[in-house]
Every structure is written in structure tokens, then in C-alpha cells.
Amino acid sequence: MNFEQIYNQFKEEKISERYITLNHIEPILNRLSEKIKVAVIGKSVLERPIYSCQSGSGKIKILIWSQMHGNESTTTKALLDFFNLLESDAEIAKDLLNRFSFCIIPILNPDGAEAYTRVNANKIDLNRDAQDLSQPESIVLRRAYNDFEPDFCFNMHDQRTIFGVGDTNKPATVSFLAPSYDEERNINAVREKAVSVIVAMNNTLQQFIPGQVGRFDDGFNLNCVGDTFQHAGTPTILFEAGHFQGDYEREETRKFIFFALLSAFDSIYENVIVDNVFEDYVNIPQNNPRFFDFVYKNIKINYDSSDKFINFAAQFNEELIDNQIFFNAFVVKIGDLEENVGHTELDGNGQSFKNFTENSLQLNQKADFFIGESVQIRNGIVQS
């Protein structure tokens, strides 16, 4: 399968960047043909519609939902690309529609998407509401699950730039999890199906982002949706769209999520039996929160009239201002960074730190400063 060619052909060009709301996707949903049946299946806390998109006539039923956390939009973009593929006359689209029945919820938490927050309008994390079902969005998802009776569930998320792959210096661009179904993290036939699909997706992605696929922690929490559905007997896979080098808008990662989806569907349909599949799964390195967006090393700074050489790190805060996401960098750690890596690193070679207002370095200050006489840092970034 030529993943690159398929993606380039069907990428939805009208959607990009990180801020994705109903206002962005509704024009796309409205133009879909009868191949994809769009329906409002519920309302959010603030009465925004929650859409489902159903397509296909195959026996294998797959339920997918995205933006359960409103500020995690990368997988939504990949799903819109997938809609374009299903709408086409390509042979792969015909095969998918004949083999599968899809129920896709592109934005489960439209209020959180609008506000660019993880939580819903009641400040509840929907991914911790699987048992209480205290929120209307949680009830919508559970009703969709009960009515559709899926054979597989795909729980689509973004993860922060802090995650790397194991002890390597590579970012976790995509991570997966086959959630546990019990406290002991056992493997049964249901979880093994999810594991097998993840192994297939990892094998595909290693061709494009070698060493940049991670495995999420599988601690059991029945309040989480994935753990609940796995516990209920439905193979469930957590997708985590992470950081690719320099790709803060997650446009490259979007492509790899699309690749993963196609690989997953192919694996499920072919139902290839792999020996030692769980061993292959656990050999995917676990996510390790060791990254910062910026790391500055060997910087001279004056404390109490004496010079010291320090390392410090800065991290972007994502802030919604006038319907646009701004990445604003702040100092988040000063001191020992031996176990940490920066997506961008600068060795100051002993040059002096100089602030724009005073020559002090404090946590939570804006990452605007000089290193020596000539290196100017604005918003964490070296200015040319």
C-alpha cells in the first residue's frame, strides 16, 4: 500500500493547525455524500451538536471518537482526511466500505474544542467519566457504543511534547495502548486483538518514523473509557498523536495517524495470527516524559555576586487568543537536566545570561533573554 500517495491524494486541505472546532468541520460534514450518513446524536453541556458519521456495509464494526479532550485535534484532522478517502471511487475506499461499518464521532467534546480545553464545559475530564456517566457527552458516547455494538473501538487523542520514546532522544510522535481490562493487566483474547492491531500499526510506522513510536502506560482505571470498553469485551485501542520534529501544528503527525488507521483496518480484515504478539507489543518502548521544548546548557548567571553555570528549560504554553492558538514559552525548570532532552537545545558555552529587564532567572518567567552579547532569545527561539 502506498500510504504517502493515498494521503497526498485525500488530505483535507481546508483544515490545518491545532484549533479545530465545529465551525471548522461542519462545512465539511455538510458536503459529504450519501456514502457517509451524518447525524446529530446528542448535545453538549452548552447545547452544541455532537455528530456521528456512519458509513460502510461490512460485517466488522468500528467505533471511533476524537476530541474527547477538546484541545486534542490532530486525530480529528486525520479522520477528515479519511472521510475524503471514503467519499472517493478509489478501490481501497470500495474495499473499506464493503469490509467495514464505521461509526465515527469527529468531535465528542465540542464545548472543550471551542474553548481549547481538555475538559468539557462543566470542567469534567470525559475520559474519567466512564463509570459515573455524569456528563451529556459521556452519555452520548455510551449510547453510541451500546447501539452500534462495535467489534473494535478507537479512542483518539493527542499527547504533550514532553513524551519521548523510552530512553532514546527521539520524540514519541505516535503512541498506542491496548488498555488493561483488570487490575493485574492480564491478557485475554479481547486485549490480544487490540495488541495485534497495534503491532501491525507499529510495523507500518517504523518505515516512516523509525524509533518514534511509543507505548502508553497500561495502569488500570475503570473510570477511563478505554479500560471500560476493554473490560466490557470490545477490543479497544488508544491512539496518541504526539510531536514530530519542528511540527508544533501536528501536520506531519496527522499524516502518520492516517497511515496508522489504514494499517489498522488492513490488519483487522486480514486477521493475521502472529506468534509472540504480546512480546512484540511490550517491546515497543514505553513513553517517557523527559522532553522539554527548549533546553539551554552551560549558561553563566550571577547569583549573590558570584558566577554559576546552570542549565534550564522552557516549555510552550498553548493559549487561545482571538480564535488562534499562540505558543508562548516560559521557563519551567532550572538545574539538573541530565535526564532531559530538548526538542531544541542550545549550548551557551559559558556565556552570560542577560534578561531584558534584570539579570535574574526565575521559574515561570517569559523565555525572552540574551545569551552573551549576540544571541537573542525571543519566545524560546534564537533570533537570526
pLDDT digits (tens, 9 = 90+) for 125-162: 999 999 999 999 999 999 999 999 999 999 999 999 99
> What's the pLDDT tens digit per position in 326-364?
999 999 999 989 999 999 999 999 999 988 766 688 899
Q: Which residue has the higher pLDDT, 102 or 300?
A: 102
Distance of CA 36 to the CA centre of its chain: 25
Q: Which residue has the cell 483488570?
A: 182
CATH tag, 3-289: 3.40.630.10
Bridge partners (DSSP) listed for residue 154: 64, 237
Q: Where are the beta strands (DSSP E) in the chain?
A: 36-43, 49-55, 60-65, 100-105, 152-158, 163-165, 174-177, 213-215, 236-241, 287-289, 291-303, 306-321, 324-334, 341-347, 353-355, 369-371, 375-378, 381-382
Distance between CA atoms of 15 and 113, rounded to whole angstroms?
Answer: 14
Which residue, among 136, 133, 240, 126, has the nearest Cα to 179 in the 3D structure? 240
pLDDT exceeding 70 applies to what percent of the chain? 98
Examine the pLDDT at 65 and tell me if it is beyond 90: yes
Per-residue pLDDT band at 48 (split at 50, 70, 90): very high
Sign of the torsion angle spanned by Cα atoms 224, 227, 231, 236:
positive
Q: Which helix (H) or strand (E) element contains residue 337?
A: none
> What's the pLDDT tens digit per position in 79-129?
999 999 999 999 999 999 999 999 999 999 999 999 999 999 999 999 999
Q: Looking at residue 75, what is its pLDDT?
A: 98
Examine the pLDDT at 269 and tell me if it is beyond 80: yes
Rounded to the nearest integer, the mean pLDDT of the chain is 95
Most confident of 271-285, 313-327, 346-360: 313-327
Distance between CA atoms of 296 and 298, rounded to whole angstroms?
Answer: 7
Q: Which CATH class is domain 291-382?
A: mainly beta
Strands of 324-334's sheet, edge to edge? 324-334, 306-321, 291-303, 341-347
Every domain range in the chain assigned CATH 2.30.40.10: 291-382
pLDDT exceeding 90 applies to what percent of the chain? 91
Per-residue pLDDT band at 302 (split at 50, 70, 90): confident
> What's the pLDDT tens digit per position in 203-247?
999 999 999 999 999 999 999 999 999 999 999 999 999 999 999
What number is the average pLDDT over the span 288-311? 90
Quick one: 286 exposed, middle or buried, by C-beta within 10 A (0-12, 13-18, 19+)? Answer: middle
What number is the average pLDDT over the span 354-381? 88
Every domain range in the chain assigned CATH 3.40.630.10: 3-289
What number is the average pLDDT over the span 273-300? 92
Sign of the torsion angle spanned by Cα atoms 266, 16, 291, 345:
positive
Residue 257 three-state SS? helix
Pairing outcome for strands 49-55 and 163-165: unpaired
Examine the pLDDT at 1 and tell me if it is beyond 90: no
Examine the pLDDT at 186 and tell me if it is beyond 90: yes
